[in-house]
């Protein structure tokens, strides 16, 4: 079962250390050369144990025999050689801090932990399957609920609602990401915090491994929803939305890790996911437009909501220059004064407000559509296509902001308060 064994006599003195070979042949030959021959019917493991622990008066002093043996001399020479090599390596390695409590510099720790955690995540089938299922099948189900949204008033709203519902993939996958987080920190606190590696290396590894997986998953989400909903095919519009989804993947990672860093267990973190995400959704400007918020919330909460910047950029982008076509049920019908056409009567109103008349030359039953283009609808939400790259940059800024708070709360709760 073992390539090497260390056998100790009562009192902790060494009896044998070395290879075992198949059926412990090397160890048995060693004992045979020093007077302990195994019978043909004996079990090798039982023979070795009985030889080491024998208290019979005729039993030899096995630790003393080991000290005089050639195997012990060879082992001591090998240890001395390794110590000399290690001493030279440490002397030549200018990157090792002699005052550090860790054997390796921080950057090396990050590399090794990232490799190890990547392997763990790759081998964790339920974790990967759960996220893939949610990112593909659940998002396709949602996307087909808004399949081929048209340019009418409801279709313009569906463009926005599809994006609003689809970003709920973040709290949906939060439990998967946070379970990995808590399991790794439990191991760290149980046995690996005392000089094995720095908590900052583990923090970096958890983030570095999660980011490419999240980018891959959100790329799948993008391909599942973009053309299914019927967003514009223009390269500049489709490319921008993809860039926003990549930034959303970063934001998703940092949001899930931040909730896990603040709260002590997966249950409380799960409650926090729901509470915070509902709050972000309500104040993003979609369910309650910015102009409809009360005087307390309007000046500040809309502007500090990260979801507002994702939706602001993507909604304004996909609605840009989309020609609105109102259905008959969407039209507002009115009659102009006698001897006036619809256009003559509504001219001043149309010069100051969005929308168009479907029958400008008529003298009765004027039909008014309140949107000319999708930009007119996005403006009612306070989303503007001219701000789309600003929205992209601000959402990226929230990722770095979260990372700073993740480090702070991890240090506070798992390092400082544990000392």
Domain shared by 366 and 389, yes or no: no
**Cα 140–chain centre separation:** 21
Domain shared by 262 and 300, yes or no: yes
C-alpha distances (whole Å) from 376 to each of 148, 232, 318, 326 are 20, 17, 12, 13
CB 314 within 8 A of CB 241: yes
The reply to whether 97 falls in a domain is no
Domain shared by 155 and 37, yes or no: no
Q: 75-126: per-residue pLDDT in tens?
A: 888 888 887 876 655 455 545 555 567 777 889 999 999 999 999 999 998 9
Domain shared by 117 and 230, yes or no: yes
Domain extent for 21: 4-68
Class of residue 352 by CB neighbours under 10 A (exposed 0-12, middle 13-18, buried 19+):
exposed
The reply to whether 101 falls in a domain is no
Domain shared by 139 and 226, yes or no: yes
Q: DSSP characters for 21-64?
A: -GGGHHHHHHHHHTT-PPPTTS-HHHHHHHHHH---TT---HHH
The reply to whether 45 falls in a domain is yes
Percentages helix, strand, coil for the chain, rounded to the nearest 5?
A: 65, 5, 30
Domain shared by 195 and 312, yes or no: yes
What pLDDT shows up at residue 41? Answer: 78
What pLDDT shows up at residue 268? Answer: 94
The structure's pTM equals 0.75
Domain shared by 308 and 357, yes or no: no
The reply to whether 275 falls in a domain is yes
CB contact set of 166 (below 8 Å; sequence gap of 6+): 139, 142, 143, 221, 225
The reply to whether 89 falls in a domain is no
Domain shared by 275 and 295, yes or no: yes
The reply to whether 74 falls in a domain is no
Q: What is the DSSP letter of 93?
A: -
What pLDDT shows up at residue 194? Answer: 67
Domain shared by 267 and 284, yes or no: yes
Number of domains in the chain: 3
Q: Which two tokens stand for residue 294?
A: 């009360």
User: Low-confidence residues of the chain, pLDDT below 70?
Assistant: 1-2, 23, 55-59, 86-100, 192-195, 418-419
The reply to whether 157 falls in a domain is yes
What pLDDT shows up at residue 88? Answer: 56
| The 366-369 sheet, strands edge to edge | 332-334, 366-369, 356-357
Domain shared by 262 and 359, yes or no: no
The reply to whether 78 falls in a domain is no
Domain shared by 115 and 48, yes or no: no
What pLDDT shows up at residue 179? Answer: 93
Domain shared by 121 and 239, yes or no: yes
CA distance between the termini of the chain: 40
């Amino acid at each position: 079962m073992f390539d090497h064994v260390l056998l100790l006599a009562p009192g902790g003195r060494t009896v044998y250390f070395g290879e075992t070979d198949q059926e412990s042949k090397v160890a048995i030959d060693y004992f045979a050369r020093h007077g302990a021959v195994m019978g043909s019917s004996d079990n090798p493991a039982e023979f070795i144990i009985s030889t080491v622990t024998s208290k019979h008066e005729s039993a030899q002093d096995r630790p003393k025999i080991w000290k005089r043996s050639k195997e012990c001399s060879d082992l001591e020479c090998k240890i001395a050689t390794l110590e000399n090599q290690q001493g030279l390596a440490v002397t030549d390695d200018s990157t090792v801090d002699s005052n550090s409590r860790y054997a390796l510099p921080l950057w090396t720790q990050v590399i090794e932990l990232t490799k190890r955690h990547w392997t763990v995540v790759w081998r964790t089938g339920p974790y990967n399957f759960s996220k893939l299922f949610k990112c593909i099948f659940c998002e396709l189900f949602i996307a087909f609920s808004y399949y081929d949204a048209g340019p009418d008033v409801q279709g313009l709203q569906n463009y926005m609602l599809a994006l609003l519902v689809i970003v709920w993939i973040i709290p949906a996958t939060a439990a998967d990401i946070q379970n990995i987080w808590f399991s790794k920190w439990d191991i760290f606190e149980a046995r690996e915090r005392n000089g094995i590696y720095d908590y900052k290396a583990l923090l970096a590894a958890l983030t570095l491994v999660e980011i490419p997986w999240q980018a891959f998953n959100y790329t799948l989400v993008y391909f599942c929803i973009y053309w299914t909903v019927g967003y514009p095919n223009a390269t500049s519009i489709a490319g921008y939305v993809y860039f926003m989804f990549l930034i959303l993947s970063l934001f998703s990672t940092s949001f899930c890790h931040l909730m896990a860093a603040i709260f002590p267990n997966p249950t409380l973190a799960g409650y926090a996911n729901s509470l915070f995400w509902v709050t972000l959704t309500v104040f993003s400007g979609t369910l309650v437009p910015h102009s409809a918020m009360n005087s307390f919330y309007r000046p500040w909460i809309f502007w500090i909501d990260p979801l507002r910047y994702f939706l602001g950029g993507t909604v304004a982008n996909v609605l840009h220059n989309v020609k609105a076509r109102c259905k008959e049920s969407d039209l507002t019908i009115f009659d102009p004064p006698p001897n006036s056409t619809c256009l003559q009567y509504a001219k001043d109103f149309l010069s100051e407000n969005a929308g168009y008349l479907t029958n400008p030359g008529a003298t009765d039953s004027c039909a008014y559509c309140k949107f000319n283009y999708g930009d007119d609808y996005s403006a009612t939400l306070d989303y503007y296509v001219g701000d789309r790259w600003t929205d992209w940059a601000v959402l990226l800024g929230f990722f770095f902001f979260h990372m700073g708070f993740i480090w702070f709360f991890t240090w506070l709760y798992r390092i400082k308060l544990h000392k």
